[in-house]
Chains A and B, each alone.
Chain A
Amino acid sequence: MSKIKGQNLRIFVPGTTANSFECVAEATSCQITINGDTEGVSIKDDELFDKQQTTSRSWSVQVDTFDAATATIKKYINIIKNTTPLLLKWDQTAGAQNRVAQDAAFARKGSAYLTDLTLTANNRQTASLSLQFTGTGAIEPITTT
C-alpha cells in the first residue's frame, strides 16, 4: 500500500466554467479537519466512565500558498465577500504542475464558506496567502463523470 506525499494532496475550488474545478496554485501546505461533536449523557447508573452520544460533525480546510498571482488574490477577496458557499474538494494530484486530480478513493467534496483570508507580505520574502474554509453540510465522495 503506497503512502501519499504531502505535495500530492491538494485543494480545488470552483473554476471559471460551470461544474469545473481548479487547483489552488502554489500551495505550500493544506490541512483538512473533520470534527465530531458529542454531548454527555451520563447518568448515575453509569458509575465511573462518562457516556457520550454524537450530535453533529463539522469540517474545515486550510490552505497556505505562495500565490503571487494578483488576479487570484483578487478572486479570493471577492469570494470572501459572498454570502453563498462554494463547492470545494480535496484530492490526490499528479501530472502537469502536480495539479491534475486523480479522483482518489479518499477524495471528497462539499460546500464551504471562505471565512478567513490572510495575506502576508514581509520585506524581501515572497508574499503568502492563507485561506480558511469552513464547511457547511455533508462531505461526499468524488464521482467520476
Chain B
Amino acid sequence: MSSFATDKIFIAAIKDNTQLMAQIGGRLYPTAIPLPDESVDNVPVPYIIVTFDGLTNDAATKDDPYESDNDVVNIGIEITAKNRAALAALASAVRSTIHSYMLEQTTDIEDYQFSAEAVQYDQFKPCYWQTLHYQCDVQTLTDNENEQD
C-alpha cells in the first residue's frame, strides 16, 4: 500500500466499528465534507473527517526519492459533536477503535504517536470539535530486487 493512501487505513478502521458508524449516522468524510460552503453548516452532528496532513520519508532511495520504505505520515481525525459530553464519548470511541484495529489487523503502520488539540467551539453551527493527530511510522517492505537492465 502506498504511504500516500495511509488515510484509507484510518477510514477502514472507523468503518469497521459498526456501532461507532451508527453513532455518527454514517457521516465519515475523507478530507472534507463534500458539500458547498453554504450547506456545510446544515450537516447534522456528530460527524468525523479524516485528513491526510503530510508525509516525510525517512528512508528514500535512488529508486524513489518521493516515497520510501519508511515514511512518517501525519493523519488528522476531526471529531464534531453537539456538546462536550458527546464529544468526549466520541473521541474516546475513536481512539479505542483505532487502537484495536491497529492491533488486530495487519497494516503497513508499524507504530504511531498520538496527540490531540484543545476542544473548540463553533458558535455558528453550533457544535464542539476536536482534532486528533496521529503520526504514523509506515513501512512498506516490498521485496525490491535488483532488476535486469
Contact = CB atoms under 8 A, between A and B. Distances in A.
B144 interface: yes
Interface stretch (A32-40, A43-51, A68-76, A112-120): A68-76
A59 interface: no
B122 interface: no
Interface string B135-149: 001010101111111
Contact of B147 (A22, A66, A125): A22
B146 A24 contact: yes
A61 interface: no
Interface stretch (B5-13, B27-35, B56-64, B99-107): B56-64
Interface in B119-143: 137, 139, 141, 143
A25 B64 CA distance: 10
Interface residues of B, number: 22
Interface string A10-52: 1011011100111111111000000000000000000000000
B146 A28 contact: no
Main secondary structure on B side of the interface with A: loop
Given A15-B148, A22-B149, A26-B69, A70 B63 contact: no
Interface in A82-123: 93, 97-101
B16 interface: no
A124 interface: yes
A98 B61 CA distance: 10
Contacts of B59: 28, 66, 126
Interface string B33-61: 00000000000000000000000000111
Contacts of B110: 124
Contacts of B64: 97-98
Contacts of B68: 66
A65 interface: yes
B62 A20 contact: no
A20 B63 contact: no
Among A17, A68, A93, the one with the most B-chain Cβ atoms within 10 Å of its Cβ is A68
A126 B143 contact: no
A100 B149 contact: yes
A69 B145 CA distance: 6
A65 B60 CA distance: 10
B144 A22 contact: no
A43 to B, nearest CB: 50
21 contacts: A7-B62, A10-B62, A13-B146, A17-B148, A20-B149, A21-B149, A22-B146, A23-B147, A23-B149, A24-B146, A25-B145, A27-B62, A66-B59, A67-B144, A68-B69, A69-B143, A70-B143, A71-B143, A99-B147, A124-B111, A126-B141
Interface of A: 6-8, 10, 12-13, 15-17, 20-28, 65-72, 75, 93, 97-101, 124-126
